[in-house]
Amino acid sequence: MLEDEPLNGFTGFARKGKAQFQYSRAAEQAAQEARTEFGEEFLSSIPATDRRWAWVEISLDAIRHNTIQAKQRLRAGVRLMAVVKADAYGHGAVECAKTALSSGADNVGVATVDEAVQLRDAGVTVPILVLSEPPEEAVPLLLAKRITPTVFSPEFALAYGELADLHGMKAPFHLAVNTGMNRIGVRAEDVIEFERQVNFHRALVHEGTFTHFATADSGDTIDFNMQVRRFVDALGALQAAGIDPGIVHAANSAALFRFPDVHFNMARLGIALYGYHPCEQTRGAVDLRPAMAVKARITAAKTVPMSEGVSYGLHYRSPGSVKICTVPIGYADGLNRALSGQVDFILNGQYMRQVGTICMDQCMFEVDLRSFGTRERLDPQVGDVVTIVGRDGNAETTITDMARFLRTIDYEVACNFSLRLPRVFV
Protein backbone atom coordinates (compact mmCIF):
# COMPACT_ATOMS: atom_id res chain seq x y z
CA MET A 1 0.00 0.00 0.00
CA LEU A 2 1.20 3.52 -0.77
CA GLU A 3 2.28 5.63 2.13
CA ASP A 4 -0.18 8.21 3.44
CA GLU A 5 -2.87 7.31 0.97
CA PRO A 6 -5.94 6.64 3.05
CA LEU A 7 -8.57 4.25 1.81
CA ASN A 8 -11.81 4.89 3.66
CA GLY A 9 -9.65 6.14 6.47
CA PHE A 10 -7.19 3.27 6.62
CA THR A 11 -3.63 4.51 6.29
CA GLY A 12 -1.09 1.83 5.70
CA PHE A 13 2.60 2.49 6.05
CA ALA A 14 5.58 0.29 6.46
CA ARG A 15 7.77 0.75 9.46
CA LYS A 16 10.73 -1.51 10.06
CA GLY A 17 9.19 -3.99 7.70
CA LYS A 18 5.94 -4.25 9.67
CA ALA A 19 2.75 -2.95 8.12
CA GLN A 20 0.83 -0.67 10.44
CA PHE A 21 -2.68 0.56 10.04
CA GLN A 22 -4.59 3.24 11.78
CA TYR A 23 -7.99 4.79 11.42
CA SER A 24 -7.64 8.52 10.93
CA ARG A 25 -9.50 11.12 13.01
CA ALA A 26 -10.82 12.71 9.85
CA ALA A 27 -12.37 9.44 8.75
CA GLU A 28 -14.02 8.93 12.15
CA GLN A 29 -15.46 12.43 11.87
CA ALA A 30 -16.76 11.69 8.36
CA ALA A 31 -18.43 8.48 9.62
CA GLN A 32 -20.04 10.45 12.45
CA GLU A 33 -21.40 12.92 9.89
CA ALA A 34 -22.73 10.06 7.78
CA ARG A 35 -24.53 8.65 10.81
CA THR A 36 -26.14 12.00 11.43
CA GLU A 37 -26.99 12.45 7.78
CA PHE A 38 -28.52 8.98 7.29
CA GLY A 39 -30.08 8.95 10.76
CA GLU A 40 -29.69 6.07 13.22
CA GLU A 41 -33.34 5.18 12.75
CA PHE A 42 -32.91 4.77 9.02
CA LEU A 43 -29.72 2.78 9.50
CA SER A 44 -31.38 0.35 11.88
CA SER A 45 -34.41 0.06 9.61
CA ILE A 46 -32.42 -1.64 6.85
CA PRO A 47 -33.92 -5.16 6.96
CA ALA A 48 -31.72 -8.02 8.19
CA THR A 49 -32.21 -9.78 4.85
CA ASP A 50 -30.69 -6.74 3.10
CA ARG A 51 -27.73 -6.78 5.44
CA ARG A 52 -27.02 -10.40 4.68
CA TRP A 53 -28.50 -12.58 2.00
CA ALA A 54 -29.33 -15.61 4.11
CA TRP A 55 -32.32 -16.14 6.38
CA VAL A 56 -34.76 -18.59 7.95
CA GLU A 57 -38.44 -18.45 7.03
CA ILE A 58 -40.94 -19.67 9.60
CA SER A 59 -44.48 -20.49 8.52
CA LEU A 60 -46.80 -19.56 11.36
CA ASP A 61 -49.59 -21.29 9.40
CA ALA A 62 -47.65 -24.53 9.81
CA ILE A 63 -47.28 -23.89 13.55
CA ARG A 64 -51.04 -23.31 13.73
CA HIS A 65 -51.78 -26.45 11.70
CA ASN A 66 -49.52 -28.62 13.86
CA THR A 67 -51.00 -27.25 17.08
CA ILE A 68 -54.48 -28.12 15.85
CA GLN A 69 -53.36 -31.63 14.87
CA ALA A 70 -52.13 -32.20 18.41
CA LYS A 71 -55.09 -30.59 20.14
CA GLN A 72 -57.49 -32.78 18.17
CA ARG A 73 -55.87 -35.90 19.64
CA LEU A 74 -56.61 -34.83 23.21
CA ARG A 75 -59.84 -35.49 25.05
CA ALA A 76 -61.85 -32.43 25.99
CA GLY A 77 -60.33 -30.82 29.05
CA VAL A 78 -56.82 -32.17 28.51
CA ARG A 79 -54.42 -29.27 28.28
CA LEU A 80 -51.79 -28.75 25.62
CA MET A 81 -48.43 -27.27 26.52
CA ALA A 82 -46.39 -25.73 23.71
CA VAL A 83 -42.74 -26.51 24.43
CA VAL A 84 -40.80 -23.52 23.09
CA LYS A 85 -37.39 -24.09 24.66
CA ALA A 86 -34.20 -23.30 22.73
CA ASP A 87 -35.96 -20.43 20.99
CA ALA A 88 -38.73 -22.78 19.89
CA TYR A 89 -36.25 -25.33 18.52
CA GLY A 90 -34.79 -22.53 16.42
CA HIS A 91 -38.16 -21.26 15.16
CA GLY A 92 -38.55 -18.13 17.34
CA ALA A 93 -39.99 -18.56 20.84
CA VAL A 94 -42.21 -15.49 21.10
CA GLU A 95 -43.92 -15.81 17.72
CA CYS A 96 -44.31 -19.58 17.98
CA ALA A 97 -45.66 -19.39 21.53
CA LYS A 98 -48.21 -16.74 20.57
CA THR A 99 -49.29 -18.66 17.48
CA ALA A 100 -49.61 -21.96 19.36
CA LEU A 101 -51.57 -20.24 22.14
CA SER A 102 -54.01 -18.71 19.68
CA SER A 103 -54.45 -22.11 17.99
CA GLY A 104 -55.35 -24.28 20.95
CA ALA A 105 -52.31 -24.55 23.23
CA ASP A 106 -53.04 -23.63 26.84
CA ASN A 107 -49.64 -22.81 28.27
CA VAL A 108 -45.94 -23.00 27.48
CA GLY A 109 -42.87 -24.87 28.65
CA VAL A 110 -39.26 -23.72 28.45
CA ALA A 111 -35.87 -25.02 29.56
CA THR A 112 -34.41 -21.98 31.29
CA VAL A 113 -35.44 -19.01 33.40
CA ASP A 114 -34.15 -16.63 30.72
CA GLU A 115 -36.40 -18.24 28.14
CA ALA A 116 -39.36 -17.76 30.47
CA VAL A 117 -38.45 -14.13 31.14
CA GLN A 118 -38.21 -13.46 27.40
CA LEU A 119 -41.78 -14.72 26.91
CA ARG A 120 -43.20 -12.77 29.87
CA ASP A 121 -41.51 -9.59 28.73
CA ALA A 122 -42.97 -10.13 25.25
CA GLY A 123 -46.46 -10.17 26.70
CA VAL A 124 -47.16 -13.90 27.10
CA THR A 125 -49.54 -14.08 30.08
CA VAL A 126 -50.33 -17.82 30.32
CA PRO A 127 -48.56 -20.11 32.84
CA ILE A 128 -44.92 -20.74 31.93
CA LEU A 129 -43.26 -23.90 33.27
CA VAL A 130 -39.48 -24.22 33.40
CA LEU A 131 -38.94 -27.92 32.67
CA SER A 132 -36.03 -28.28 35.07
CA GLU A 133 -35.16 -27.00 38.52
CA PRO A 134 -33.43 -23.62 38.25
CA PRO A 135 -30.64 -22.41 40.55
CA GLU A 136 -31.89 -21.09 43.91
CA GLU A 137 -30.43 -17.69 43.08
CA ALA A 138 -33.05 -17.29 40.33
CA VAL A 139 -36.00 -17.52 42.72
CA PRO A 140 -36.63 -13.73 42.79
CA LEU A 141 -37.07 -13.82 39.00
CA LEU A 142 -39.56 -16.68 39.26
CA LEU A 143 -41.68 -14.74 41.72
CA ALA A 144 -41.42 -11.38 40.00
CA LYS A 145 -42.29 -12.78 36.57
CA ARG A 146 -44.76 -15.48 37.66
CA ILE A 147 -42.62 -18.30 36.28
CA THR A 148 -43.38 -21.80 37.54
CA PRO A 149 -40.36 -23.97 38.32
CA THR A 150 -39.96 -27.71 38.20
CA VAL A 151 -38.96 -28.94 41.63
CA PHE A 152 -37.24 -32.09 42.80
CA SER A 153 -34.88 -31.05 45.59
CA PRO A 154 -36.21 -30.06 49.03
CA GLU A 155 -33.52 -27.36 49.37
CA PHE A 156 -34.75 -25.55 46.30
CA ALA A 157 -38.40 -26.02 47.21
CA LEU A 158 -37.91 -24.54 50.67
CA ALA A 159 -35.84 -21.60 49.45
CA TYR A 160 -38.53 -20.88 46.87
CA GLY A 161 -41.32 -21.20 49.43
CA GLU A 162 -39.49 -19.05 51.98
CA LEU A 163 -38.93 -16.12 49.66
CA ALA A 164 -42.49 -16.30 48.37
CA ASP A 165 -43.82 -16.28 51.93
CA LEU A 166 -41.65 -13.33 52.86
CA HIS A 167 -43.42 -11.32 50.15
CA GLY A 168 -46.88 -12.65 50.88
CA MET A 169 -46.89 -14.69 47.69
CA LYS A 170 -47.61 -18.31 46.77
CA ALA A 171 -44.93 -20.58 45.29
CA PRO A 172 -46.52 -22.90 42.72
CA PHE A 173 -44.38 -25.75 41.37
CA HIS A 174 -44.54 -28.91 39.32
CA LEU A 175 -42.92 -31.97 40.86
CA ALA A 176 -40.65 -33.92 38.51
CA VAL A 177 -40.79 -37.66 39.05
CA ASN A 178 -37.91 -39.82 37.86
CA THR A 179 -39.56 -42.95 36.51
CA GLY A 180 -36.57 -44.34 34.67
CA MET A 181 -34.92 -41.75 32.42
CA ASN A 182 -32.58 -40.80 35.29
CA ARG A 183 -32.17 -37.20 34.15
CA ILE A 184 -34.01 -35.19 36.79
CA GLY A 185 -36.72 -35.79 39.32
CA VAL A 186 -37.53 -37.46 42.61
CA ARG A 187 -37.40 -41.25 42.26
CA ALA A 188 -40.93 -42.59 41.92
CA GLU A 189 -40.70 -44.55 45.17
CA ASP A 190 -39.47 -41.48 47.07
CA VAL A 191 -42.24 -38.98 46.29
CA ILE A 192 -43.94 -39.37 49.67
CA GLU A 193 -40.65 -38.84 51.49
CA PHE A 194 -40.10 -35.71 49.38
CA GLU A 195 -43.56 -34.38 50.22
CA ARG A 196 -42.91 -34.92 53.94
CA GLN A 197 -39.90 -32.68 53.69
CA VAL A 198 -41.65 -29.78 51.95
CA ASN A 199 -45.39 -29.88 52.26
CA PHE A 200 -45.56 -28.27 55.70
CA HIS A 201 -44.64 -25.03 53.95
CA ARG A 202 -47.63 -22.73 53.64
CA ALA A 203 -46.43 -20.85 50.55
CA LEU A 204 -45.60 -23.90 48.42
CA VAL A 205 -48.40 -25.00 46.09
CA HIS A 206 -48.12 -28.43 44.48
CA GLU A 207 -49.60 -27.38 41.16
CA GLY A 208 -48.53 -30.26 38.95
CA THR A 209 -46.74 -33.61 38.77
CA PHE A 210 -44.92 -34.91 35.73
CA THR A 211 -42.45 -37.37 34.34
CA HIS A 212 -40.55 -37.64 31.07
CA PHE A 213 -40.20 -40.70 28.86
CA ALA A 214 -36.86 -41.96 27.61
CA THR A 215 -38.27 -44.22 24.91
CA ALA A 216 -41.65 -42.86 23.79
CA ASP A 217 -40.18 -42.76 20.27
CA SER A 218 -39.07 -46.38 20.27
CA GLY A 219 -40.73 -49.39 18.64
CA ASP A 220 -40.05 -51.40 21.77
CA THR A 221 -42.50 -50.43 24.52
CA ILE A 222 -41.19 -52.48 27.49
CA ASP A 223 -39.25 -49.60 29.07
CA PHE A 224 -41.99 -47.15 28.21
CA ASN A 225 -44.59 -49.27 29.98
CA MET A 226 -42.31 -49.63 32.98
CA GLN A 227 -42.06 -45.83 33.24
CA VAL A 228 -45.83 -45.49 32.96
CA ARG A 229 -46.34 -48.06 35.72
CA ARG A 230 -43.91 -46.32 38.07
CA PHE A 231 -45.55 -42.96 37.38
CA VAL A 232 -49.05 -44.28 38.02
CA ASP A 233 -47.80 -45.89 41.24
CA ALA A 234 -46.28 -42.59 42.39
CA LEU A 235 -49.54 -40.77 41.62
CA GLY A 236 -51.43 -43.41 43.60
CA ALA A 237 -49.09 -42.98 46.54
CA LEU A 238 -49.61 -39.22 46.53
CA GLN A 239 -53.36 -39.60 46.43
CA ALA A 240 -53.31 -42.23 49.20
CA ALA A 241 -51.36 -39.74 51.31
CA GLY A 242 -54.00 -37.12 50.69
CA ILE A 243 -51.78 -35.05 48.39
CA ASP A 244 -53.36 -33.65 45.25
CA PRO A 245 -50.86 -34.15 42.40
CA GLY A 246 -52.46 -31.26 40.52
CA ILE A 247 -52.00 -31.17 36.75
CA VAL A 248 -50.56 -34.55 35.77
CA HIS A 249 -48.50 -34.73 32.59
CA ALA A 250 -46.08 -37.10 30.92
CA ALA A 251 -46.48 -37.15 27.14
CA ASN A 252 -43.99 -35.54 24.76
CA SER A 253 -44.81 -35.38 21.02
CA ALA A 254 -44.17 -39.08 20.43
CA ALA A 255 -46.33 -40.19 23.36
CA LEU A 256 -49.03 -37.63 22.52
CA PHE A 257 -49.59 -39.17 19.09
CA ARG A 258 -48.84 -42.80 19.97
CA PHE A 259 -50.22 -43.41 23.46
CA PRO A 260 -53.52 -41.66 24.36
CA ASP A 261 -53.45 -43.52 27.69
CA VAL A 262 -50.69 -41.27 28.98
CA HIS A 263 -52.31 -37.92 28.18
CA PHE A 264 -53.41 -37.56 31.81
CA ASN A 265 -54.35 -33.84 32.29
CA MET A 266 -51.87 -32.34 29.85
CA ALA A 267 -49.47 -33.21 27.00
CA ARG A 268 -46.23 -31.41 26.18
CA LEU A 269 -45.84 -30.76 22.48
CA GLY A 270 -42.32 -30.01 21.25
CA ILE A 271 -40.88 -31.27 17.99
CA ALA A 272 -44.25 -31.97 16.34
CA LEU A 273 -45.30 -28.36 16.91
CA TYR A 274 -42.61 -27.44 14.40
CA GLY A 275 -43.72 -30.08 11.92
CA TYR A 276 -41.16 -32.82 12.45
CA HIS A 277 -41.96 -36.40 13.34
CA PRO A 278 -40.53 -37.55 16.65
CA CYS A 279 -40.19 -41.09 15.29
CA GLU A 280 -41.01 -43.33 12.36
CA GLN A 281 -44.18 -44.58 14.08
CA THR A 282 -45.93 -41.21 13.76
CA ARG A 283 -45.15 -40.84 10.06
CA GLY A 284 -48.35 -41.47 8.14
CA ALA A 285 -50.33 -41.41 11.38
CA VAL A 286 -50.41 -37.64 11.68
CA ASP A 287 -50.20 -34.83 9.16
CA LEU A 288 -47.42 -32.46 10.26
CA ARG A 289 -46.08 -29.52 8.28
CA PRO A 290 -42.44 -28.44 8.68
CA ALA A 291 -42.46 -24.77 9.64
CA MET A 292 -38.87 -23.93 8.80
CA ALA A 293 -37.30 -23.04 5.48
CA VAL A 294 -33.75 -21.79 5.01
CA LYS A 295 -33.02 -19.48 2.11
CA ALA A 296 -30.20 -17.43 0.68
CA ARG A 297 -29.40 -15.29 -2.35
CA ILE A 298 -26.51 -15.88 -4.68
CA THR A 299 -23.67 -13.48 -3.89
CA ALA A 300 -21.31 -14.61 -6.66
CA ALA A 301 -21.80 -16.65 -9.81
CA LYS A 302 -18.93 -17.45 -12.12
CA THR A 303 -17.66 -20.05 -14.51
CA VAL A 304 -14.65 -21.92 -13.19
CA PRO A 305 -12.28 -23.43 -15.76
CA MET A 306 -12.17 -27.21 -15.95
CA SER A 307 -10.12 -28.91 -13.21
CA GLU A 308 -9.79 -25.80 -11.05
CA GLY A 309 -10.71 -26.49 -7.45
CA VAL A 310 -13.35 -24.84 -5.25
CA SER A 311 -13.30 -23.99 -1.52
CA TYR A 312 -10.92 -25.04 1.26
CA GLY A 313 -8.87 -28.06 0.35
CA LEU A 314 -9.99 -27.79 -3.29
CA HIS A 315 -11.68 -31.14 -2.82
CA TYR A 316 -14.09 -30.42 -5.63
CA ARG A 317 -12.80 -29.82 -9.16
CA SER A 318 -14.79 -28.05 -11.82
CA PRO A 319 -15.81 -30.26 -14.75
CA GLY A 320 -16.05 -27.09 -16.91
CA SER A 321 -19.55 -26.33 -18.28
CA VAL A 322 -20.70 -25.25 -14.81
CA LYS A 323 -21.23 -22.05 -12.95
CA ILE A 324 -20.09 -22.06 -9.35
CA CYS A 325 -22.46 -19.98 -7.23
CA THR A 326 -21.74 -18.73 -3.74
CA VAL A 327 -24.34 -18.27 -1.01
CA PRO A 328 -23.59 -16.47 2.28
CA ILE A 329 -24.45 -19.30 4.66
CA GLY A 330 -22.05 -21.65 6.38
CA TYR A 331 -21.50 -23.87 9.37
CA ALA A 332 -21.63 -20.90 11.78
CA ASP A 333 -25.26 -20.62 10.64
CA GLY A 334 -26.05 -24.25 11.34
CA LEU A 335 -25.26 -25.68 7.93
CA ASN A 336 -23.16 -28.50 9.31
CA ARG A 337 -19.74 -28.82 7.71
CA ALA A 338 -20.13 -32.59 7.58
CA LEU A 339 -22.78 -32.01 4.88
CA SER A 340 -20.11 -30.68 2.49
CA GLY A 341 -20.72 -32.12 -0.96
CA GLN A 342 -23.59 -34.23 0.38
CA VAL A 343 -26.64 -32.00 -0.01
CA ASP A 344 -28.61 -30.38 -2.78
CA PHE A 345 -29.89 -26.84 -2.81
CA ILE A 346 -32.82 -25.78 -4.96
CA LEU A 347 -32.77 -23.08 -7.63
CA ASN A 348 -35.82 -22.46 -9.82
CA GLY A 349 -37.42 -25.69 -8.62
CA GLN A 350 -34.38 -27.76 -9.58
CA TYR A 351 -31.82 -29.54 -7.43
CA MET A 352 -28.29 -28.12 -7.48
CA ARG A 353 -25.38 -30.01 -5.97
CA GLN A 354 -23.61 -28.25 -3.12
CA VAL A 355 -19.91 -28.57 -3.89
CA GLY A 356 -16.70 -27.94 -2.03
CA THR A 357 -16.17 -27.64 1.69
CA ILE A 358 -18.84 -25.68 3.55
CA CYS A 359 -17.04 -22.66 5.04
CA MET A 360 -17.93 -20.84 8.25
CA ASP A 361 -20.02 -18.15 6.55
CA GLN A 362 -20.36 -19.19 2.92
CA CYS A 363 -20.58 -22.19 0.67
CA MET A 364 -20.83 -22.97 -3.01
CA PHE A 365 -23.03 -24.97 -5.32
CA GLU A 366 -22.76 -26.07 -8.88
CA VAL A 367 -25.09 -25.18 -11.74
CA ASP A 368 -24.76 -27.35 -14.81
CA LEU A 369 -24.87 -24.97 -17.77
CA ARG A 370 -25.62 -27.62 -20.35
CA SER A 371 -29.18 -28.05 -21.54
CA PHE A 372 -30.34 -31.62 -21.70
CA GLY A 373 -33.62 -33.46 -21.92
CA THR A 374 -36.41 -30.96 -21.57
CA ARG A 375 -34.35 -28.73 -19.33
CA GLU A 376 -33.58 -25.25 -20.47
CA ARG A 377 -30.15 -23.84 -20.07
CA LEU A 378 -29.85 -22.33 -16.63
CA ASP A 379 -28.36 -18.93 -16.07
CA PRO A 380 -27.95 -18.24 -12.35
CA GLN A 381 -27.50 -14.61 -11.39
CA VAL A 382 -26.31 -12.77 -8.34
CA GLY A 383 -29.38 -12.08 -6.21
CA ASP A 384 -31.31 -15.22 -7.22
CA VAL A 385 -33.00 -16.94 -4.26
CA VAL A 386 -31.76 -20.41 -3.36
CA THR A 387 -33.61 -22.83 -1.09
CA ILE A 388 -31.26 -24.54 1.34
CA VAL A 389 -34.07 -26.22 3.29
CA GLY A 390 -37.67 -26.29 2.14
CA ARG A 391 -39.74 -26.64 -0.98
CA ASP A 392 -39.44 -24.84 -4.30
CA GLY A 393 -41.76 -26.11 -7.02
CA ASN A 394 -41.59 -29.90 -7.01
CA ALA A 395 -38.20 -30.04 -5.35
CA GLU A 396 -37.78 -30.29 -1.59
CA THR A 397 -34.88 -30.63 0.81
CA THR A 398 -35.66 -31.42 4.42
CA ILE A 399 -34.17 -31.09 7.86
CA THR A 400 -35.04 -34.76 8.27
CA ASP A 401 -32.76 -35.74 5.36
CA MET A 402 -29.94 -33.65 6.79
CA ALA A 403 -30.43 -35.17 10.24
CA ARG A 404 -30.39 -38.66 8.81
CA PHE A 405 -27.17 -38.00 6.95
CA LEU A 406 -25.59 -36.47 10.06
CA ARG A 407 -26.75 -39.40 12.23
CA THR A 408 -28.58 -37.04 14.51
CA ILE A 409 -32.19 -36.01 15.04
CA ASP A 410 -34.28 -33.29 13.43
CA TYR A 411 -34.29 -31.45 16.77
CA GLU A 412 -30.58 -30.69 16.56
CA VAL A 413 -30.50 -29.64 12.92
CA ALA A 414 -33.45 -27.25 13.43
CA CYS A 415 -31.93 -25.72 16.60
CA ASN A 416 -28.65 -25.07 14.85
CA PHE A 417 -30.19 -22.91 12.13
CA SER A 418 -30.97 -20.37 14.84
CA LEU A 419 -27.32 -19.65 15.49
CA ARG A 420 -26.96 -16.54 13.34
CA LEU A 421 -29.61 -16.37 10.64
CA PRO A 422 -32.29 -13.69 10.83
CA ARG A 423 -35.82 -15.05 10.98
CA VAL A 424 -38.66 -14.02 8.74
CA PHE A 425 -42.21 -15.02 9.69
CA VAL A 426 -44.45 -15.80 6.76
Ligand X SMILES: *Cc1c(COP(=O)(O)O)cnc(C)c1O
- Residue 411 annotated as catalytic: no
Binding footprint of ligand X, residue count (CB under 6 A): 12
Closest to ligand X by CB, 86 or 157: 86
Question: Does residue 253 interact with ligand X by CB under 6 A?
Answer: yes
Q: How far from 41 is each of 44, 46, 99, 122, 263, CA to CA, in Å?
A: 5, 9, 29, 22, 50
Q: Least distance in Å: CB of 173 to ligand X? A: 14
Q: Least distance in Å: CB of 282 to ligand X? A: 11
Which residues are CB-contacts of 118 (< 8 A; sequence separation ≥ 6)? 93, 94
Binding mask 127-146 for ligand X (x = CB under 6 A): ----x---------------
Range in contact with ligand X (rule: CB under 6 A) among 195-203, 240-248, 251-259, 415-423: 251-259
- Residue 274 annotated as catalytic: no
Q: Least distance in Å: CB of 179 to ligand X? A: 12
Q: Least distance in Å: CB of 112 to ligand X? A: 11
Closest to ligand X by CB, 216 or 355: 216
Distance, CA of 40 to CA of 83 (rounded, Å): 37
Residue list 185-214, contact with ligand X (CB under 6 A): 212
The residue annotated as part of the active site, out of 18, 71, 85, 145, is: 85
Question: Does residue 403 interact with ligand X by CB under 6 A?
Answer: no
Range in contact with ligand X (rule: CB under 6 A) among 30-38, 97-105, 225-233, 247-255: 247-255
The residue annotated as part of the active site, out of 23, 170, 302, 312, is: 312
Binding mask 263-302 for ligand X (x = CB under 6 A): -----xxxx------x------------------------
Q: How far from 366 is each of 90, 164, 328, 342, CA to CA, in Å?
A: 28, 61, 15, 12
Q: Least distance in Å: CB of 255 to ligand X? A: 8
Catalytic residues: 85, 312
Binding footprint of ligand X on the chain (CB under 6 A): 83, 85, 131, 212, 252-254, 268-271, 278
